């Protein structure tokens, strides 16, 4: 299990107790990046493997968390298409590594939109 996953479960503080670990405040960017991991975990732990998204979990994440960034978030064929594109190894699950392809796509589009305003 990654530190971030444990962190999202609130276990890091517990594990770090007694160890000599310098505690530094997270920067804004680090905080935002960890936020992406936390959101992923919020959905990935629901069913099946705790660290991958099933199609249903991906759909829940997209519908709840990206309704403005993505079109047709409630349209099943569109979700199917996104899932197939993200599931690079075709194992029927979207890992965090596969998920960040979507994050990167959304970020890129949002950045372009800012410059068009
Ligand atoms: Ca996969």
HSE value, Cβ hemisphere, 13 Å, CA-based, for 44: 21
Kindly give the distance from the C-alpha atom of residue 62 to the centroid of ligand 1, in angstroms, as a whole number. 17
Which pLDDT tens digit goes with each residue over 65-97?
999 988 888 889 999 999 999 999 999 999 999
Which pLDDT tens digit goes with each residue over 42-66?
999 999 999 999 999 999 999 999 9
**Domain range 3-116, its CATH number among 1.10.238.10, 1.10.760.10, 1.10.565.10, 3.10.129.10:** 1.10.238.10
What b-and-e string marks burial along 65-78, b requiring 16 or more CB atoms within 10 Å of the CB?
Answer: beeebbeebeeeee
CA dist 57 and 59 (Å) reads: 5
Assess contact for 31 and 39: CB atoms under 8 A: no
Kindly give the distance from the C-alpha atom of residue 59 to the centroid of ligand 1, in angstroms, as a whole number. 15
Kindly give the distance from the C-alpha atom of residue 90 to the centroid of ligand 1, in angstroms, as a whole number. 5
Please tell me the pTM assigned to this model: 0.78
């Amino acid at each position: 299990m990654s530190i971030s996953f444990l962190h999202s479960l609130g276990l890091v503080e517990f594990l770090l107790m007694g160890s000599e670990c310098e505690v530094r405040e997270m920067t804004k960017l680090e905080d935002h990046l960890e936020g992406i991991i936390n959101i992923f975990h919020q959905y990935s732990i629901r069913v099946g493997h705790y660290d991958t998204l099933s199609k249903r979990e991906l759909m829940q994440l997209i519908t709840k968390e990206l309704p403005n960034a993505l079109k047709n978030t409630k349209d099943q064929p569109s979700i199917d298409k996104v899932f197939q594109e993200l599931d690079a190894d075709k194992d029927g699950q979207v890992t965090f590594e596969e998920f960040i392809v979507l994050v990167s796509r959304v970020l890129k589009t949002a950045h372009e939109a800012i410059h068009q305003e």
